Structure 1
Amino acid sequence: MDQVSDFLKRLFDSNNWPARWHCGIWTPFHGWLYIISSSLIAMAYFSIPVILFYLIKKSKNHLPFQKIFWLFILFILSCGVTHVFDALMFWFPVYRMSALVLFVTAITSWMAVYGLYKIIPSALALKSPAVLEKIIQERTLELQVSNNHLQQLNSELTLAKLESEKLMKQKEEFLGIASHELKTPLTILKAYTQLLSEKTDGEKITQTDIQNKMRVQIDRLALLIYDLLDVTKIKEGMLVYYKKRVNLKHIITDVVQDIRHTSLSNNIILENIVDIEIIADRERIAQVFLNLLSNAMKYSPAGSPIIITVQKEEHTIICAVKDQGFGIPQDQQDKIFEKFYRATGGHRDTYPGMGLGLHIAENIITNHEGTIWVESEEGKGSTFYFQLPIASEDSYLN
């Protein structure tokens, strides 16, 4: 301990040693080369900590392994100080102070070594720029996929919203049309009922005439109700079909006769009606003809011909109902078989109907393994076609 105490007391004492210039044989060139080299090394050692400190400052304390940076700053500063004292020894041989600086440098050196050893696992876990670039590309791709998925969901939600708004609009239109369509025949029936109760013998209108007109309105009201019931069954998949071998010509003839009993305003013409059998629900196929003929009569001028044809092909028959009405705009022809859809434009909006007949007809034909379509030109009328398979010899009933 006495030596340590004496060492510290005489830390800057240089009396026991000569200046380095006088130790050995130094030429001026050799000496100054040593001094200048040590000085330049010291300046470099002092510059490096300044740069490291600037880097830490600019990184706003986000630099990884920041403690190691501070250890290196201390270590490099200590190394610089040793070179300063190494150069000063040529004039001031303070070997005790130089030894202390070397001791401090040794401690900081091993602290830096230990610090480096401790961070090896964390350093090895760091991603290389190439790996980071790959990760960024993968994450970017994932974000793009997620963004595309969100855009798709947004588009689907937008379409669902538009579809919902469309359905709500159709519902409101349907309620308005339905209330009007159901109220009209009831109002007429009420008027004829009142007329019957107030009729006098001197009036020309007969009771039979009134009853016939009342029957027309009752049939109209019943048809509206049946259409509503059928649409509900179609939606729930509960529309029942009783299929058997039936004669198509007989179905057409019966439907036309029924219409002629209730309406004389149109001229229904049967052309080339092939006498052929199909496997079908007789009432439902009759309903298809009734709906197509009702539409044709509704939109055709009074007295204009409505032509029904049946054409036989190899395994199918094609039925057609042609009218001389307003025709259907091209942009609406794909929509007329939709539920509650009614063609618009011109005088069409003034005609009654709920937009159910064609929708029901399409469902019936589809369930008979057939197809239905329309060909129309504005101002030249429309022709509705449907195709059904012919009953073969070995056809069986479903």
Structure 2
Amino acid sequence: MKTKNISDRAAFLIKQEEELKKLRKQSFLIFKNVSDGITVQNRKGIIFANQASLEFTKVSLNKSTKNFKYFNEKGISINWNNLPAGRVLNEKVEVQGLYKVVNKKTGEEFWLNIKSMPIFDQDKKLIEVITISRNITSHMLEDEMKNNFLRLIAHELRTPITSIKAFSQILERMNNSSKDKKTMKYFQKMDIQISKLSDLIDTLLNVTKLKQKIPFKDKWFSFDLFVKKDISEIQKGLNKHKLILIGKTSKKFFGDKEKISQILKNMINNAVKYSPRGKKVIITLSGENNSLKVAVRDFGIGISPRHHKKIFKQFYRIYGKKENLFPGVGIGLSVSKEIADRYGAKMWVKSREGKGSIFFLSLPVRKSKKL
């Protein structure tokens, strides 16, 4: 009986080993044939690379990291230790990023989205790093072409729009003494619409500048005074809505005034735009130890929860009976979000249809001298 139990146990272990070998073979075939590059490495070097990763580099396994230069999104050259795999070996945490890779010999360039993850043993000791690389070169080229097109269109439109605006203002001044109130009203409406078109062109140019990662002009400034000034400027152009400021941060912020103003104005202008029957927009400021928060509340048409994340994407528009009444191309919030991302800030919305919206901006702050 004892011999039979040992025999059964041995048969079970053999079967388990066969199943494990089969599973390893299947996993190997999957890793080998997926379109994403997959590598496994330890502190001595790469111990496994699938076909896709070798096709990215077009060199042998042992030379795959030596023949290339790596650059981050800002175009700054980085060494291997600062790539995701190198950082995981040192920091033992998951790391992901976009990188431009240049072949030193051929000059060929390609873009990779690289994600590296640590593998630990039973004692929680780091033994290996698995890296998944996705070739996004075609996507980056398409994005570059789109941005070049937007920049070209914006530049080509800016000159004639500036001329049209100047001529309309001259005509308005020439007819300023005219008793024909109807004509003057037309001139004023024309000037308003030209200004809107000019703002749209500026927004398109800002989109392309952000994509080019042009450095911001950061400096210290009083955040509360800055917000009050922006609100005052916006209020001058409003007829129906009253802008109400509540709270304060009592903090200085290190950033580009023009860019932060762009976010704030977009938040407030959207609040006014999408609450045509509303009479007020409430802007609330609050500050914590390491951050300051701006909340802009309107009492307008609101936004369905299913759109909350999507509205921050470029060119995203909500289509419906109510939304179609408001012109726009879906750029403002995406530009604001991209600026916020550059500062490590967060933007989000709380809203329900018919109940108005509250848009939030949370900015991390550096330590500075008290005001």
What TM-score does the superposition give when structure 2 sets the normalisation length? 0.54
Match of 1:324 among 276, 299, 304: 299
Match of 1:229 among 205, 228, 231: 205
Instruction: Give the Cα–Cα distance (whole angstroms) in 1 for the partners of residues 208 and 276 of structure 2.
Output: 33
Q: C-alpha deviations, 1:172-231, integer Å up to 9, x for none?
A: 9xxxxxxxxx99999999888777767884324696x77765554443233212111110
Q: Give 1:264 deviation, angstroms.
A: 1.3
Amino acid corresponding to residue 233 of structure 1 in structure 2: K
Match of 2:267 among 281, 285, 292: 292
Match in the other structure for 1:176:
none
The structure carrying a bigger helix percent of its residues is 1
Match in the other structure for 1:275:
250
Taking the TM superposition and a 5 Å limit, the aligned residue runs for 1:334-345 are 334-345=309-320
Match of 2:180 among 196, 200, 203: 203
Check the 8 A contact 1:188/1:217 in 2, yes or no. no
Query: Matched residue of 2:254: which SS?
Result: strand
Q: 1:259 to 1:394 in 2, by over 3 A?
A: closer
Instruction: Give the Cα–Cα distance (whole angstroms) in 1 for the partners of residues 321 and 179 of structure 2.
Output: 43
Q: Give 1:361 deviation, angstroms.
A: 1.0
Match of 1:358 among 333, 339, 350: 333
Instruction: Give the Cα–Cα distance (whole angstroms) in 2 for the partners of residues 257 and 275 of structure 1.
Output: 19
The structure carrying a bigger strand percent of its residues is 2
Match of 2:347 among 360, 368, 372: 372
Check the 8 A contact 1:326/1:380 in 2, yes or no. yes
Instruction: Give the Cα–Cα distance (whole angstroms) in 2 for the partners of residues 308 and 198 of structure 1.
Output: 39
Q: Give 1:319 deviation, angstroms.
A: 0.7
Q: Give 1:391 deviation, angstroms.
A: 4.3
Q: Give 1:322 deviation, angstroms.
A: 0.6
Aligned length: 254
Instruction: Give the Cα–Cα distance (whole angstroms) in 1 for the partners of residues 284 and 22 of structure 2.
Output: 69
Instruction: Give the Cα–Cα distance (whole angstroms) in 2 for the partners of residues 373 and 145 of structure 1.
Output: 38
Q: Give 1:265 deviation, angstroms.
A: 2.3
Q: 1:281 to 1:148 in 2, by over 3 A?
A: closer
Match in the other structure for 1:390:
365
Q: Give 1:333 deviation, angstroms.
A: 1.0
Instruction: Give the Cα–Cα distance (whole angstroms) in 1 for the partners of residues 320 and 285 of structure 2.
Output: 31
Check the 8 A contact 1:189/1:217 in 2, yes or no. no
Q: C-alpha deviations, 1:219-268, integer Å up to 9, x for none?
A: 32332121111100112222x31111111122212212211222212121
Q: 1:143 to 1:329 in 2, by over 3 A?
A: same
Instruction: Give the Cα–Cα distance (whole angstroms) in 1 for the partners of residues 348 and 342 of structure 2.
Output: 15
Q: 1:309 to 1:191 in 2, by over 3 A?
A: same
Q: Give 1:323 deviation, angstroms.
A: 0.8
Q: 1:183 to 1:351 in 2, by over 3 A?
A: farther
Q: 1:211 to 1:138 in 2, by over 3 A?
A: closer
Q: How high is the sequence identity, in percent, across the aligned residues?
A: 29
Match in the other structure for 1:105:
none
Taking the TM superposition and a 5 Å limit, the aligned residue runs for 1:142-161 are none
Q: 1:137 to 1:394 in 2, by over 3 A?
A: closer
Instruction: Give the Cα–Cα distance (whole angstroms) in 2 for the partners of residues 331 and 315 of structure 1.
Output: 31
Check the 8 A contact 1:301/1:324 in 2, yes or no. no
Check the 8 A contact 1:267/1:303 in 2, yes or no. no
Q: 1:188 to 1:320 in 2, by over 3 A?
A: same
Instruction: Give the Cα–Cα distance (whole angstroms) in 2 for the partners of residues 167 and 379 of structure 1.
Output: 39
Match in the other structure for 1:95:
none
Q: Which one has more relative contact order, counting CA pairs under 8 Å at least 6 apart?
A: 1
Q: C-alpha deviations, 1:103-147, integer Å up to 9, x for none?
A: xxxxxxxxxxxxxxxxxxxxxxxxxxxxxxxx9999888766666
Match in the other structure for 1:312:
287
Q: 1:315 to 1:381 in 2, by over 3 A?
A: same
Amino acid corresponding to residue 279 of structure 1 in structure 2: F
Amino acid corresponding to residue 314 of structure 2 in structure 1: K
Higher-Rg member (1/2): 1
Query: Matched residue of 2:180: which SS?
Result: coil
Instruction: Give the Cα–Cα distance (whole angstroms) in 1 for the partners of residues 369 and 194 of structure 2.
Output: 42
CA-based RMSD: 4.8
Q: Give 1:369 deviation, angstroms.
A: 2.6
Task: State the 4+ residue runs in structure 1 displaced beyond 3 angstroms.
Answer: 135-150, 159-169, 182-202, 204-207, 209-219
Q: C-alpha deviations, 1:284-327, integer Å up to 9, x for none?
A: 11111111111111111244211000012222111101111211
Q: Does 1:381 align with 2:352?
A: no
* Structure 1: unaligned runs, 5 residues or longer: 1-134, 173-181
Q: 1:140 to 1:243 in 2, by over 3 A?
A: closer
Q: C-alpha deviations, 1:32-72, integer Å up to 9, x for none?
A: xxxxxxxxxxxxxxxxxxxxxxxxxxxxxxxxxxxxxxxxx
Amino acid corresponding to residue 229 of structure 1 in structure 2: L
Q: Give 1:383 deviation, angstroms.
A: 0.7
Q: 1:276 to 1:201 in 2, by over 3 A?
A: same
Check the 8 A contact 2:340/2:346 in 1, yes or no. yes
Check the 8 A contact 1:241/1:281 in 2, yes or no. yes
Check the 8 A contact 1:192/1:214 in 2, yes or no. no
Instruction: Give the Cα–Cα distance (whole angstroms) in 2 for the partners of residues 162 and 363 of structure 1.
Output: 18
Check the 8 A contact 2:168/2:187 in 1, yes or no. no
